[in-house]
Amino acid sequence: MTRVRPSLLPLLVPLFGCPSDSNSTGGSETTSGDSTAAPSTETIDPTELTGPTEPTTTSAESSSGADSTTAVVDTTESGTSAADESSTGADSTGTTGEAGIADIDMSVVLEDTVASVRTEMRNFAEDSCAYVDGCLAGFGMRRLLRFSTITPNLGDADFHVGNHNDNPELFEQSACSGSWLFANYARYRLLDADGVEVGTGHKSAFALIDLAPFTDDAGPAQYGFGQDMGISVGWADIYDAGLECQWVDITDVPAGDYTLELAINPDEVVPEATFDNNVLLVPVTIDAGDPLPPEVPEEWVCNPAFYGLDDGCDCGCGAADPDCADATIDSCQFCDGCSEGNCDLIDPENNAVCLPA
């Protein structure tokens, strides 16, 4: 069965970086510490646009009282020059046919990106999609530096990449899910004080859509799932920090001060008005460690990733979920295990078990 919250249907599909992982085991997170930023441009709050995500999204969902990451914005620009539009095969005029050029501007999302940074410990199976798709340096217990990626198009034409049939050179197919994604849309790296990469970052393929209007004069959305990929003028795509592969693997990174680098369209395969605003640098301070995820009891019959993750009360799983407010069916948010999604099959007085057949 598919386990989603109704408000998350636009996000929880196997198209975001790495697909949803049914093989990973549970994890817990610590929320970021206070962050400061001083951009002068008005920004949007991605949590208001996307709602909560699974397994975790906002600091309010974390049960840990320890701050593990402090992020401060650096407005340094990448210094990259604009590419010649004629040198790429991508269409920069958008679906409207109007002349112009796109512009993904990361300088206006500094504050929201900083607010999304946090760390967590999580366990992964060897056949997990996150490991298969190259988002981790190894399997087993890993420490992750999570963050959201918000990419608004503030140009005067769509950031249009089409589909894998028309532009096969721009796409790759996930080794795990088989989904077609726009290749290398984002590059994530963690750098030390000397600019040397530490931890394990990766290039992330995206399913680009019009997820949220970013400007007051944004027109109607033009790009959605199952269609040509792109971002319309005045719209943004958002990959929330709670989604798979929205991280750098920092398992072996010692405590200290680092710089998180998010580079969008790093290979400049889609023409833009400028590439000087495509790189976001976020200084982060990583502490000594995070609490381990809760141990999953043997009687738990649901996906181990759903146990005690501050992601809602799972019922019918053979054991009580620590996320449940009480032992009755009234607290159930997800009916998994033997109930196969039907909460009527769960004992109303003991939501850990199902009623006799």
Going by DSSP bridges, is the β-strand pair 140-146/118-124 parallel, antiparallel, or unpaired? antiparallel
CA 65 – CA 124 distance, rounded (Å): 24
**Domain spans of the chain?**
13-286, 297-357
Residue 74 pairs in a beta bridge with 281
CA 167 – CA 170 distance, rounded (Å): 6
pLDDT at 123: 85
pLDDT at 195 over 90: yes
pLDDT at 235: 98
Assign 304 a pLDDT band (cuts: 50, 70, 90).
Answer: confident
292 or 25, which is more confident: 292
pLDDT at 99: 60
Q: What is the pLDDT of residues 166-175, one digit of tens each?
A: 989 999 988 8
Among the listed residues 161, 157, 176, the one whose alpha carbon sits nearest the alpha carbon of residue 88: 161
Q: pTM score, two decimals?
A: 0.63
Q: What is the pLDDT of residues 233-273, one digit of tens each?
A: 999 999 999 888 999 999 999 999 999 999 999 999 999 99
Looking at residues 168-186, what average pLDDT do you find? Answer: 88
pLDDT at 290 over 70: yes
Q: What is the pLDDT of residues 216-236, one digit of tens each?
A: 999 999 999 877 999 999 999
342 or 101, which is more confident: 101
Q: What is the pLDDT of residues 12-52, one digit of tens each?
A: 333 333 333 334 443 333 333 333 333 333 334 434 443 33
CA 161 – CA 181 distance, rounded (Å): 10
Please give the torsion angle defined by the CA atoms of residues 193, 195, 196 and 197, in that order, rounded to the nearest 10 degrees.
100
Lookup: tokens for 317: 């799983």
- Residue reference for tokens 């950031």: 159
Burial of 294 (0-12, 13-18, 19+ CB in 10 A): middle
Looking at residues 304-327, what average pLDDT do you find? Answer: 86
